[in-house]
Structure 1
Amino acid sequence: MKKFLQLNSWLAIAALAWGVGYIYNARYGGELSWLRIMYEQKMAIASEVTAPQRILIVGGSGAHYTVDAGLMQQQLGIPTLNMATDGPVGLNVILPSVSDAIKKGDIVVLIPEYLILQQKDGFGDRSGQFGVAIGKPGLGGVPAKQLAQDIMLLGIPTLKGVTKSSVDLVEKGRFTGYYSDPITANGDPTVLKQRLKSDWWELQIKEPVSPHALQRIRQFKKEVEAKGATLVLGLSWIYGSTDKQTLGNISKTAEKLGEIAPVLYDKQSLNVKTDSSLFADTHYHLNSSGRRTRTTELVEQLKALNIVRN
Structure 2
Amino acid sequence: MMDSETQKPQTGDAALPKAAAKPKGVLSMLGRLGLLGAASAATLLAIVLAIPDENDYARATLIKHDRLSSLPDKKIVLVGGSNLSYGMDSTLIERETGCPAVNMGLNGYFGVRYLMREVADDVKPGDIIVLAFEWDNFGKPIEGSGKDLYAIVKTNPAAFAYLTPKQIGEALAAVPFVAQSKLLRIGNQAARGELFARKDDNLMDKLNQIESAKSFAPTGDLIGHKGVAWTGVIEQGTKLHTTGIDPTVVPAIKAYAKAMEAKGVHVMVSYTPAMRHYYDANKTEIDSVHEALTTGPDAVKAPSPPSSYVYDPSLFFDTVYHLKAETRHVRAQKVADDLRTALSNAATCSKSN
Structure 1 residue 60: deviation in Å? 0.6
Q: Verify: 1:179 aligned to 2:205, yes or no.
A: no
Structure 1 residue 132: deviation in Å? 3.7
What's the secondary structure of 2:49's corresponding residue? helix
TM-score, structure 1 normalization: 0.81
Structure 1 contact 241–272 (Cα < 8 Å) conserved: no
Amino acid in the other structure paired with 1:18:
L
Structure 1 residue 157: deviation in Å? 3.7
What's the secondary structure of 2:197's corresponding residue? helix
Q: Verify: 1:47 aligned to 2:69, yes or no.
A: yes
Q: Any idea what the Cα deviations from partners look like across 1:54-94, whole Å, max 9, x if unmatched?
A: 11100011121111112211222110110112341111222
Cα 1:221–1:127 shift into 2, 3 Å: farther
1:196 aligns with: 231
Amino acid in the other structure paired with 1:34:
Y
* Unaligned runs of at least 5 residues, structure 1: none
2:83 aligns with: 62
Q: Verify: 1:256 aligned to 2:281, yes or no.
A: no
1:14 aligns with: 40
TM-score, structure 2 normalization: 0.72
2:277 aligns with: 241
Aligned residue pairs total 301
Give the Cα–Cα distance (whole angstroms) in 2 for the partners of residues 291 and 168 of structure 1: 36
What's the secondary structure of 1:20's corresponding residue? helix
Give the Cα–Cα distance (whole angstroms) in 1 for the partners of residues 176 and 237 of structure 2: 37
1:308 aligns with: 347
Q: Verify: 1:101 aligned to 2:127, yes or no.
A: no
Q: Kindly indicate which of the two structures has a greater share of residues assigned to helix.
A: 2
Structure 1 residue 141: deviation in Å? 4.1
CA RMSD of aligned residues (A): 3.6
Structure 1 residue 226: deviation in Å? 4.1
Structure 2 contact 272–321 (Cα < 8 Å) conserved: yes
Amino acid in the other structure paired with 1:240:
R
Q: Verify: 1:215 aligned to 2:251, yes or no.
A: yes
Amino acid in the other structure paired with 1:43:
H
Structure 1 residue 40: deviation in Å? 1.4
Q: Any idea what the Cα deviations from partners look like across 1:265-294, whole Å, max 9, x if unmatched?
A: 357x34222x21100111100012320111
Structure 1 contact 129–147 (Cα < 8 Å) conserved: yes
Judge which range, 190-199 or 112-121, deviates more.
190-199
Cα 1:149–1:188 shift into 2, 3 Å: same
Judge which range, 275-284 or 94-103, deviates more.
94-103
Bigger radius of gyration among the two:
2
Structure 1 contact 105–228 (Cα < 8 Å) conserved: yes
Structure 1 residue 150: deviation in Å? 1.9
Cα 1:221–1:180 shift into 2, 3 Å: same
**Runs in 1 of length 4+ with deviation above 4 angstroms?**
3-13, 163-166, 198-205, 242-245
What's the secondary structure of 1:170's corresponding residue? coil
Give the Cα–Cα distance (whole angstroms) in 2 for the partners of residues 304 and 144 of structure 1: 39
Q: Any idea what the Cα deviations from partners look like across 1:86-134, whole Å, max 9, x if unmatched?
A: 3411112222122233222111001000111222443335454246423
Structure 2 contact 234–318 (Cα < 8 Å) conserved: no
Structure 1 contact 76–299 (Cα < 8 Å) conserved: yes
Q: Verify: 1:34 aligned to 2:70, yes or no.
A: no
Give the Cα–Cα distance (whole angstroms) in 1 for the partners of residues 107 and 340 of structure 2: 27
Give the Cα–Cα distance (whole angstroms) in 1 for the partners of residues 223 and 133 of structure 2: 21
